Amino acid sequence: MTSLENIPVKYSDLISEIETGQVKIPQFQRKFVWDIKSSAKLLDSIIKGYPIGTFIYWRTNERLRAVRNLGNIELPEPKDGEYINYVLDGQQRLTSLFATLKGLKITDEEGRESDYSEMYVDFNAQDDQEIIITDPSKLAERTFIRVTDLMEGSLTLLAAYPSEYHKTIEKYKKIIQSYTFSVINLKNAPIDVATEVFTRLNVGGKALTLFEIMVAKTYDSNKKFDLAEKYDELTEELATSQYDTIPSATVLQVIAILLEKDCTRKQILKLDKEKFIGIWDEATNCIKQSVDFFRSYGISVSRILPYNALIVPFSYYFFLHEKNPTGEIKKRLEDFFWRASLGFRYSSGVESKLAQDIEKIEKIVKGELPKYEWAVNIDEEFVENNGWFSTGKAFIKAILCLLSKQSPKSFDNNLNVIMDNSWLKIASSKNYHHYFPKSWLKKNYKDWEYFYVNHIVNITIVDDFLNKRTIKTKSPAVYMKTFRKENEDLVQTMKTHLIDIEKDGIWENDYETFYNNRLKRIAKALNKFIIQQETQKNLEVYEDIEEVEPETVE
């Protein structure tokens, strides 16, 4: 049962606990940021007998990924089974105090070094002045002493100071040694309670993500398992496949689904540490197989994946069935992918829907056709109503997947267009091109609403070079004549963009004909992937939804 224990701790005990490795900084704490002057003020408060606040520890025998010690100070690791006090509140004060009393050097992330041995006691300072100082250059010799000499100096060293200061030296040393620090121990608390306490104590800071909590919970020094490092390694591997944008939340969902068929925050926090570590390699292998499938399917970069959550059911498929899908199973997985992508499946309630959808994957693996509780009716009107071009919308990403599946060719040489995640972040990125440039339409189709100008129907995937340097704001009739001279396969090239240069009014700059013809092709192409089923009653129907993929389980 979780309990709070308020205990006074003496100076010697506090220092001893730190030196023996019983006090650690959990990974989710921020870095040490106090400067030496702030640290001097802290010790000045102590030497004046002022309260400096309470240190709050989470006392547990769990082993978490921790910032090894206070600051960058190397201290021993406690023995297995021993309790550790993880600092939930007071890290800056505790690190400052320890560094000052031990005269340590701390290097920050920028490489700047602070020498905490440069802290002094001014013998002649009055109570309303600073007794602890960092610059004694203006003081007379032998009227000040290093804090480290005060606390640990030999009798000979201390006796060498003028006799008039001996009582002052003894008084200040005794004040620090007898100072009682207030400590509250949070005992027998699960990690989610401890991190919730931490979050509430740090209301001005950023709340901990579920991933940060799981990094702490699953850390195992003996097995050399560090979730943060493992995730970074996975991301680096996926970067070579242009799938490095898969968030940590999705990885946690995959693991929870494989272990418990449930991926709510509550369930993830309950995952057994040993099982989590044990399934990591298999889970990440399933993720990689999913990525390989999407890439071979024509979705060459993760930035256009309609939902990151799609990685979860497909990873579950490869967990049940290691081989790549073929035949009817492949068709049914395609059907599932497009239904989820075009039906706004994961725009809300992601975790509960994933739990439902793995049952559909199980049916597919068994050779059955799942029934779907949401309707997908893709016609021209639906595509038109939901086609406002914004790269954050799942529906738009789905159509970009369709365009990517065509293996779009470059207008000038009929070679494959190279897509890159770094080029696909926003609607004005390098790979996206309004086939009829927006500025040209604004001048020549003034009666058309901007909605139909900045529409997915008007978007093609091209190379950066063509988009920014060759096409610019020219009309299609102008820039396509240039490409017709350079590319003898231009007719076939444009078909990979779902455009017919002879029938779509290109040479006449007829945007209306182009728009209507391409709208029909997109709707027709999308419907080829959907396996028609008997209409069910009470299906969820989504229309004209402006949504951005939600942050899940974080």
427 pLDDT above the threshold of 60: no
- If you ran DSSP here, which 8-state letter would residue 467 be given? I
356 pLDDT above the threshold of 70: yes
Q: Tell me the C-alpha distance between 522 and 207, whole Å.
A: 43
Lowest mean per-residue pLDDT among 210-219, 288-297, 395-404, 416-425: 416-425
Q: Tell me the C-alpha distance between 282 and 292, whole Å.
A: 15
Q: Cα torsion for 403, 409, 415, 418, to the nearest 10°?
A: -40
Residue 537 pLDDT class (50, 70, 90 cuts): very low
- The pLDDT of residue 33 is 77
423 pLDDT above the threshold of 60: no
State the alpha helices, DSSP H only, in 135-226.
147-152, 155-159, 166-178, 191-201, 210-218
Residue 6 lies in a domain: yes
Judgement on whether residues 104 and 220 belong to the same structural domain of the protein:
no
Residue 90, Ramachandran bin (φ over 0: left; ψ between -120 and 50: alpha; else beta): left
Judgement on whether residues 322 and 218 belong to the same structural domain of the protein:
yes
What does the block give as tokens for 1?
């049962």
Average pLDDT over residues 21-35: 78
426 pLDDT above the threshold of 50: no
Domain boundary among 341, 376, 411: 376
Judgement on whether residues 334 and 272 belong to the same structural domain of the protein:
yes
Residue 311 lies in a domain: yes
Q: Tell me the C-alpha distance between 554 and 548, whole Å.
A: 16
- The pLDDT of residue 550 is 44
530 HSE (CA, 13 A, CB side): 22
Nearest to 395 by CA among 345, 445, 429, 431: 345
5 HSE (CA, 13 A, CB side): 15
164 HSE (CA, 13 A, CB side): 5
Backbone angles phi, psi at 223, to 5 degrees: -90, 0
545 pLDDT above the threshold of 60: no
Q: Pairing relation of β-strands 120-122 and 105-107?
A: unpaired
Structure confidence by residue, pLDDT tens digits, 216-257:
788 887 888 989 899 999 999 999 999 999 999 999 999 999
Which residue range is the domain that position 410 belongs to? Answer: 401-527
Average pLDDT over residues 99-117: 82
The CA angle 341-344-349, to the nearest 5 degrees, is 120
Judgement on whether residues 126 and 266 belong to the same structural domain of the protein:
no
- Averaged pLDDT score across all residues of the chain: 87
Higher pLDDT, 543 or 517: 517
- The pLDDT of residue 32 is 75
110 pLDDT above the threshold of 80: no
- The pLDDT of residue 540 is 53
Q: Measure Cα distances from 170 to 158, 167, 175 in Å.
A: 9, 5, 9
Domain boundary among 207, 232, 249: 207
149 pLDDT above the threshold of 90: yes
- If you ran DSSP here, which 8-state letter would residue 456 be given? G
Within 10 A of 527 (CB to CB), how many other CB atoms are there? Answer: 15
Q: Tell me the C-alpha distance between 176 and 178, whole Å.
A: 6
Average pLDDT over residues 404-425: 80
Q: Which residues of 148-160 are buried (b: 16+ CB within 10 A; e: fewer)?
A: bbbbebeeeebee
Residue 468 pLDDT class (50, 70, 90 cuts): low
Contacts of 105 (CB under 8 A, 6+ apart): 113, 114, 115, 116, 117
Contacts of 322 (CB under 8 A, 6+ apart): 289
Judgement on whether residues 407 and 493 belong to the same structural domain of the protein:
yes
Judgement on whether residues 69 and 9 belong to the same structural domain of the protein:
yes
Backbone angles phi, psi at 147, to 5 degrees: -60, -40
What does the block give as tokens for 410?
């470059």
Q: Contact at 8 Å (CB) between 532 and 375? A: no
Contacts of 451 (CB under 8 A, 6+ apart): 388
Q: Tell me the C-alpha distance between 523 and 518, whole Å.
A: 9
What does the block give as tokens for 400?
């970009």
Average pLDDT over residues 79-97: 85
Q: Contact at 8 Å (CB) between 265 and 210? A: yes
- The pLDDT of residue 69 is 58
Determine the length of the chain.
554
Nearest to 44 by CA among 103, 104, 130: 130
Structure confidence by residue, pLDDT tens digits, 495-512:
999 999 999 999 999 999
Please give the share of the chain, as a percent, with pLDDT higher than 90. Answer: 60
Cα end-to-end span (Å), the chain? 27
- What residue type is 496 in one-letter code? T
Q: Tell me the C-alpha distance between 462 and 471, whole Å.
A: 10
Q: Contact at 8 Å (CB) between 258 and 284? A: no
Judgement on whether residues 236 and 129 belong to the same structural domain of the protein:
no
Average pLDDT over residues 293-320: 95
Residue 548 pLDDT class (50, 70, 90 cuts): very low
Nearest to 337 by CA among 496, 531, 544, 498: 531
Q: Tell me the C-alpha distance between 342 and 276, whole Å.
A: 33
Lowest mean per-residue pLDDT among 167-176, 211-220, 450-459: 211-220
Q: Contact at 8 Å (CB) between 33 and 205? A: no
Domain total in the chain = 3
Q: Tell me the C-alpha distance between 208 and 199, whole Å.
A: 7
- The pLDDT of residue 536 is 47
Residue 387 lies in a domain: no
- The pLDDT of residue 527 is 94
Residue 514 pLDDT class (50, 70, 90 cuts): very high
Q: Tell me the C-alpha distance between 393 and 389, whole Å.
A: 8
- The pLDDT of residue 490 is 95
Residue 283 lies in a domain: yes
Judgement on whether residues 292 and 268 belong to the same structural domain of the protein:
yes
- The pLDDT of residue 137 is 92
State the alpha helices, DSSP H only, in 366-437.
380-385, 394-405
Higher pLDDT, 363 or 99: 363
Domain boundary among 152, 181, 207: 207
Residue 533 lies in a domain: no
Backbone angles phi, psi at 107, to 5 degrees: -105, 130
272 pLDDT above the threshold of 60: yes
397 pLDDT above the threshold of 70: yes
198 pLDDT above the threshold of 80: no
- The pLDDT of residue 248 is 96
Judgement on whether residues 268 and 151 belong to the same structural domain of the protein:
no
Lowest mean per-residue pLDDT among 85-89, 172-176, 246-250: 85-89
Judgement on whether residues 40 and 185 belong to the same structural domain of the protein:
yes
547 HSE (CA, 13 A, CB side): 19
202 pLDDT above the threshold of 70: no
Q: Tell me the C-alpha distance between 245 and 314, whole Å.
A: 17
Task: State the DSSP string of 344-368.
Answer: TTTSS-HHHHHHHHHHHHHHHHTT-
- The pLDDT of residue 544 is 43
Residue 142, Ramachandran bin (φ over 0: left; ψ between -120 and 50: alpha; else beta): left
Residue 200 lies in a domain: yes
- The pLDDT of residue 107 is 77
Judgement on whether residues 70 and 173 belong to the same structural domain of the protein:
yes
Residue 532 lies in a domain: no
342 pLDDT above the threshold of 80: yes
Judgement on whether residues 445 and 337 belong to the same structural domain of the protein:
no
Residue 382 lies in a domain: no
